[in-house]
Structure 1
Amino acid sequence: MIHIKRLVLFLWCSLYIISALAQEETPYKTSIPQKGEGLYAFLSRNNLNPDKFTQQFLDLNKGKFGKNNALLLGVKYKIPSSETYLFEPLYGKDREKFKVESDNLNGAVYYLVSGHGGPDPGALGQYGDKTLSEDEYAYDITLRLAKKLQENGASVNMIIQDKNDGIRDESYLEMDKDEVCNDEEIPLEQINRLKQRTTAINQLYLKNKPAYQRCVIIHVDSRSKGKAIDVFFYHSPKSNSGKNTAQSLLNIFDAKYSQHQPSRGYSGVVSSRNLYLLRKTYPTAVFIELGNIRNYRDQQRFILENNRQALANWLYEGLLSDYKSNNK
């Protein structure tokens, strides 16, 4: 008798736990329409923008509507979550699923090109017994920028990709040669690398017309060890829109340095350069040099994870400013 009671209790508890887990796993709240309430009013009452969530609501509740998608009294309707999550494996396992924070850049399309990669590591700097490689640090910062842009509604195309690196938090980013350009092996010859990147960008640009589009090319400079430099922004000599984008970026960096290091000053500049990618890519493009990888002070800009994230955040703010100025 005791065993039977225990068995009944066990089964009851098991069913309760299963039921509770099922409730916890249900991702949607429900709501019943009020008398005379239409779809627009119903969604608004449930704190959803009808312009954004009508189709998602209809898809979620198929078979529960009257003629012309009229709401039915007494029916429980699932309410879409106002939080949107995206999934991007390039960011690494710890960051591949992320929440959309805003629609500030809704409709904007970006092509992000981190410098060098594949057989070409780019500029090299010595830090203690470690060798710092331009392509690894430029790529990490570019990934961080890509994620920030996506979190705020933009469409992002990573032209250079390394599918097993992800965003890395360690100071020393180990070198490898497995980066690809638009899923193709990166050639050794510089002119072929540049042509490959240009072709990839321009093909995507034509598909995305007439959207607002920008190309951002991110590099790390190499100068004498004693030469510390600020972040520089370059545009094509004949591109007024490129100049304006570069100026928007510089303005943010100037303001950030004034805020965080008021006694330091900021010496970054905007100038034109006759670079292949700036001349040949169809979208408005800006070329960015983040610092001198051989200078100890500039190296702190790269080896500290927080500094890499700050660079990405500031670049995002500059691009947002540029977007807003073109969409008034």
Structure 2
Amino acid sequence: MKLRLSLLFWVGACTLIFAQDNNFYQVVAEQGDGIFSLLRKQGLDPAKHYGTFLELNSDKIKEGSALKLGEEYKVPYASDSFKKKGVLVEAVADSEAPIFNAELSQMSVKSDKLKDAVYYLIVENKVESDGSFTKDTAKRLAAELMEHGAQVYVMGEPSNSNASKGIMGEYVKVINKRYLQNMGKYQRVLLLRAGDLSQGSALDVAVYHYNKSEQGQRFAHHIQNVFKQHSVSNTNVDEASLIFEDENSLYLAKNILPAISLLSLESSSKTAQSKISLKTNKTKFANMISNGIMNDYADLEFEN
């Protein structure tokens, strides 16, 4: 009996030590690092995790928040880290990596408005050379949503710029898997599709939804309304909410579990009568989309 108790105590002690070791990881302090800057660079809210950092490194921090250059410090693992809140998903391999790295030091928590929201962003560029605008917009949009508490998954692009039904199937698989993992939360998919974008030109933005999805239509409607409020176009904005017709969009809409909307981007044309015209300002464009997304979430929360 004594031997059995001793073994149980030893196993329990080892388990506790192992768990404690897995509550943190180590980083090396760089030139100019203090506690706040180091935590920010790791995607953590300094105000929230300052105390935990002090506890983990009590043997190394003697005065104030100064850190020693080249010294290793323990950083707590945290579910609210921007490294975990923003994830780039490689669909074929179903692997994950943080969306942001060097940019983390510039990000900060703005609110928890979207703390129970999960978004999946898909970028599809029909013309490979013109993909930077939509990629940058998706990253800016992801950052804005994350800073308000959302979980964001960005789908990595296929090697072929023209997305096939095959890669759409991979998107369905990885999105549905994460949808089930986040069951009970508000979840939406936004597809950004870029056509032939000319450098510095105005954009025609069309907002699409699946006609059999009330949530998707509502999601598109809120995004559309923000464009209506800010657009300088004389286009009848009621015509700008269109129905999925192409094969890829319909395949996604019919097979993924979350509701989906599509923003289609083209260089402005005088003949484009059913689209909203917008100058190609990435920051403004991303902010308008995020405002529409947050309005959809807030409206749903208000109804509930």
1:320 to 269, 286, 294: 294
The letter of the residue matching 1:96 is L
User: Secondary structure of 2:122's partner?
Assistant: strand
Contact persistence 1:230–1:267 (CA under 8 A): no
Question: What letter is aligned with 2:253?
Answer: L
**1:68 corresponds to:** none
Out of 147, 151, 155, the residue aligned to residue 147 of structure 2 is 151
Partner secondary structure for residue 291 of structure 2: helix
Q: How many angstroms does 1:325 deviate by? A: 0.9
Equivalence map 1:264-283=2 (5 Å): 264-268=233-237, 269-274=240-245, 275-283=250-258
Partner of 1:141: 137
Aligned partner of 2:10 in structure 1 is none
CA distance in 2, matches of 1:144, 1:58: 30
Match 1:104 to one of 92, 101, 113:
113
Q: Structure 1: where are the runs of 5+ without partners?
A: 1-23, 29-51, 63-77, 79-83, 117-121, 125-131, 161-178
Query: 1:112 and 1:25 mapped to 2: Cα distance?
Result: 34
Rounded Cα–Cα distance in structure 1 between residues aligned with 2:82 and 2:117:
17
Local SS of the residue matching 2:223: helix
Normalising by the residue count of structure 1, what TM-score does the alignment of the two structures yield? 0.55
Structure 2 unaligned runs (5+)?
Answer: 1-32, 38-46, 57-64, 66-79, 87-97
Runs in 1 of length 4+ with deviation above 6 angstroms? Answer: 185-189, 297-300
Tell me the CA shift for residue 57 of structure 1. 5.5
Structure 1 CA distance, aligned partners of 2:278 and 2:183? 40
* SS of equivalent to 2:207: strand
SS at match of 1:109: strand
Q: Is this contact kept in 1: 2:210–2:243, CA < 8 A?
A: yes
| Corresponding residue of 1:221 | 195
1:176 aligned partner: none
Q: Percent identity?
A: 24
Determine the C-alpha separation between the residues in 1 that align with 2:298 and 2:255.
25
Q: Residues 239 and 286 (structure 1 numbering): CA distance in 2 closer, same or farther, change over 3 Å? A: same
Q: 2:171 aligns with which of 197, 206, 224?
A: 197
Q: How far 1:284 moved relative to its partner?
A: 0.9
Report matched runs for 1:63-78 at 5 Å: none
RMSD: 4.0
Q: How does 1:248-263 map to 2 (within 5 A)?
A: 248-257=222-231, 261=232
Separation in 2, partners of 1:187, 1:309: 24
Q: Distance in 1 between matches of 2:162 and 2:204?
A: 29
Change (3 A) 1:222 1:144: same
Tell me the secondary structure at the aligned position of residue 301 of structure 2: coil
The CA distance in 2 between the partners of 1:315 and 1:283, in whole Å, is 18
Q: Give the whole-Å Cα distance in 2 for the aligned partners of 1:204 and 1:186.
A: 24
Deviations 1:222-255 (A, max 9, x none): 59xxxx8631111112001110110000000000
Per the alignment, residue 124 of structure 2 pairs with: 115
SS in 2 for 1:115: strand
